[in-house]
A and B are shown apart, each in its own frame.
Chain A
Amino acid sequence: MRDTRRSRIVLAILVLMSITLIVFDLRGGLTQPLRSVGETVLGSAERAMAGVVVPVRNLVDSLGGLGSADERIAALEQENAQLRAELDTAANDRARIEDLNALLGLVSTNEYTTVPAQVIAVGPAQGFAWTVTIDAGSRDGVERDMSVISGAGLVGRTIDVGPTTSTVLLIVDATSSVGGRLSGTSQIGIVSGTGRQDSLTMQLLDPLAVVDVGDVVVSFGSEGGRPYAPGIPIGVVAEMRGTEGQLTRSAILEPYVDISRLDIVGVVLRAPEGPPRSTLDPALTGVGGGG
């Protein structure tokens, strides 16, 4: 029976404050200062915390790997033999790949000017948002709406930047959409996140496009390379939905980047100098649009 009246008043005030915050946030922009404070203050604290946590996490990961080392060696030996066999055909393929790269504007990821960063925090799963915090911020040259990549492909884009940390919206988030291009046929479409970490959907703009399972999708590139730089691999087509000619035709993609195992990523400060997309001239190259 301790002062229930006072606690009820406090409850009412706090509920009203929360609702006010929600309304302000939905109005857009009004709570941006709060986010900036969070990014600056809590981001720095997370960074300090990660200084302790990340080495421990890596140690635990490597200890976990000890038991399965034999299996891994066997798998690697097998892979080695397979790769050796493939090497024989590689010289031939390489020349072809170079041609195709020049043709299709696939730029290898190390041609981008990037800032490396470590993933230090992840959003709770019950928020349904796929976002991570990285330990690079405006002091490292990172700005809002820059592409984030890893060795495997496109990871996402920065949505909030503090002095020493940034928040990255991953491509699998339901609110993320990236302009994508099928590297085989140059068909374009919009790649959206599904909210699941292992699939993306690509809405094809051309309902008659010929798409095969296993086709590679790369980023189309935005104006000035922001938020998405051109030519970054996104994923491969795993499944087609809808038949040819249907208005809403979409492909299910499997992203290259394993979202659950993100560790070191790179923020693209500048896309490659030259235009990565050369003009397609079928007469010159003898490639007939891929089918």
Chain B
Amino acid sequence: MVGRRIVVSALLLILAVLIEVTILAPLDFPGATPTLVLVVVVILAGQFGATTGAIAGFAGGFLIDIAPPAAGTIGITALLLTIVGYAAGRFAESDDRPWWSLAILAGLAAPLVILAGSALGGLLGDPRVRWDDVIFLMLTSAGYALALGLILGRPLRRLCRWIVPEAYPR
């Protein structure tokens, strides 16, 4: 049962990372690249709780950090998505939330991750961070994450429920 949960999470995260770098980033959306991985982490956390959310966040962030052509500091995305996964898990655990609340959560988390990533990058001396672009990146990423969350929320929930039925007692 735990095995299935790990397999479905791992497959979804790997697929999300691959889609993000081979399809979404080359499409050159205005502003930020849609953060599919973050949306998947939030949805997984919403289905399986804070522990799985934190682990999925770490794994997804780590994959983004090392998947070519990544050139940033390894660990930054892992750190931020771990926190996002945990927070999303706690949020979904507290009581019955409608499915679209996770999409809104993703839409809030995406710009915060960009802000925190830029701040952390700046503190650690990354010469690439451009503060004049950060606001635009945050705004666009919020929109993309919200849209992806609304599109993927229900299908992924159904997929999780189908593969790991014991996670849903009701």
A125 touches B51 (CB 8 A): no
Contacts of B129 in A (CB 8 A): 128
Q: Within the complex, what minimum Cβ distance (angstroms) separates B169 from chain A? A: 11
B17 touches A42 (CB 8 A): yes
B33 touches A125 (CB 8 A): yes
CB < 8 Å: which of B33, B67, B76, B90 contacts A46?
Answer: B67
Q: Within the complex, what minimum Cβ distance (angstroms) separates B82 from chain A? A: 4
A21 touches B21 (CB 8 A): no
Answer whether residue B14 sits at the interface, using C-beta atoms and an 8 A cutoff: yes
A39 touches B114 (CB 8 A): no
A18 touches B78 (CB 8 A): yes
Answer whether residue A31 sits at the interface, using C-beta atoms and an 8 A cutoff: yes
B50 touches A7 (CB 8 A): yes
Q: Within the complex, what minimum Cβ distance (angstroms) separates A168 from chain B? A: 7
A20 touches B71 (CB 8 A): no
The distance in angstroms between the C-alpha atoms of A90 and B79, with both chains bound, is: 60
Q: Within the complex, what minimum Cβ distance (angstroms) separates B135 from chain A? A: 12
Answer whether residue A282 sits at the interface, using C-beta atoms and an 8 A cutoff: no
The distance in angstroms between the C-alpha atoms of A20 and B32, with both chains bound, is: 27
Contacts of B74 in A (CB 8 A): 21-22, 24-25, 31, 34-35
Q: Within the complex, what minimum Cβ distance (angstroms) separates A76 from chain B? A: 25
Answer whether residue A174 sits at the interface, using C-beta atoms and an 8 A cutoff: yes
Q: Within the complex, what minimum Cβ distance (angstroms) separates A286 from chain B? A: 45
- Given A21-B78, A22-B75, A124-B32: A129 and B70 interface contact (C-beta under 8 Å): yes
CB < 8 Å: which of A3, A6, A34, A53 contacts B22?
Answer: A53
CB < 8 Å: which of B57, B66, B72, B76 contacts A42?
Answer: B66
Contacts of B21 in A (CB 8 A): 46, 121-124, 133
The distance in angstroms between the C-alpha atoms of A23 and B117, with both chains bound, is: 15
Answer whether residue B163 sits at the interface, using C-beta atoms and an 8 A cutoff: no
The distance in angstroms between the C-alpha atoms of A132 and B61, with both chains bound, is: 19
- Given A14-B54, A18-B61, A169-B71: A126 and B35 interface contact (C-beta under 8 Å): yes
CB < 8 Å: which of B18, B64, B89 contacts A7?
Answer: B89
A42 touches B67 (CB 8 A): yes
Q: Within the complex, what minimum Cβ distance (angstroms) separates B69 from chain A? A: 4
For A115-137 the 0/1 string (1 means CB < 8 A from B) is 00001111111111101110000
Answer whether residue A162 sits at the interface, using C-beta atoms and an 8 A cutoff: yes
Nearest CB in chain A to that of B89: its residue: A7
Contacts of B61 in A (CB 8 A): 18
The distance in angstroms between the C-alpha atoms of A177 and B21, with both chains bound, is: 25
Q: Within the complex, what minimum Cβ distance (angstroms) separates A268 from chain B? A: 19
Contacts of B79 in A (CB 8 A): 15, 18-19, 22
The distance in angstroms between the C-alpha atoms of A38 and B76, with both chains bound, is: 16
The distance in angstroms between the C-alpha atoms of A10 and B52, with both chains bound, is: 9
CB < 8 Å: which of A3, A4, A17, A131 contacts B69?
Answer: A131
The distance in angstroms between the C-alpha atoms of A159 and B83, with both chains bound, is: 30
Contacts of B1-21 to chain A: CB distance below 8 A? 14, 17-21
For A66-97 the 0/1 string (1 means CB < 8 A from B) is 00000000000000000000000000000000
Answer whether residue A195 sits at the interface, using C-beta atoms and an 8 A cutoff: yes
B71 touches A123 (CB 8 A): yes
Nearest CB in chain B to that of A50: its residue: B22
A11 touches B50 (CB 8 A): yes
Which 6 A-B pairs have CB atoms at the shortest separation, nearest pair first?
A: A21-B75, A38-B66, A18-B79, A131-B69, A22-B75, A124-B33
Assuming A18-B75, A132-B69, what are 19 further A-B pairs, CB within 8 angstroms?
Answer: A2-B93, A14-B57, A14-B78, A17-B78, A19-B75, A19-B79, A42-B17, A42-B68, A45-B18, A46-B68, A123-B70, A124-B64, A125-B31, A126-B32, A129-B69, A165-B68, A167-B68, A167-B70, A174-B130
Q: Can you spell out 22 A-B residue pairs with CB atoms less than 8 angstroms apart?
A: A2-B49, A7-B51, A11-B50, A14-B57, A18-B75, A22-B76, A35-B66, A42-B63, A46-B21, A50-B22, A53-B23, A120-B22, A123-B70, A123-B71, A124-B20, A125-B29, A125-B31, A127-B72, A128-B121, A129-B72, A159-B71, A195-B128
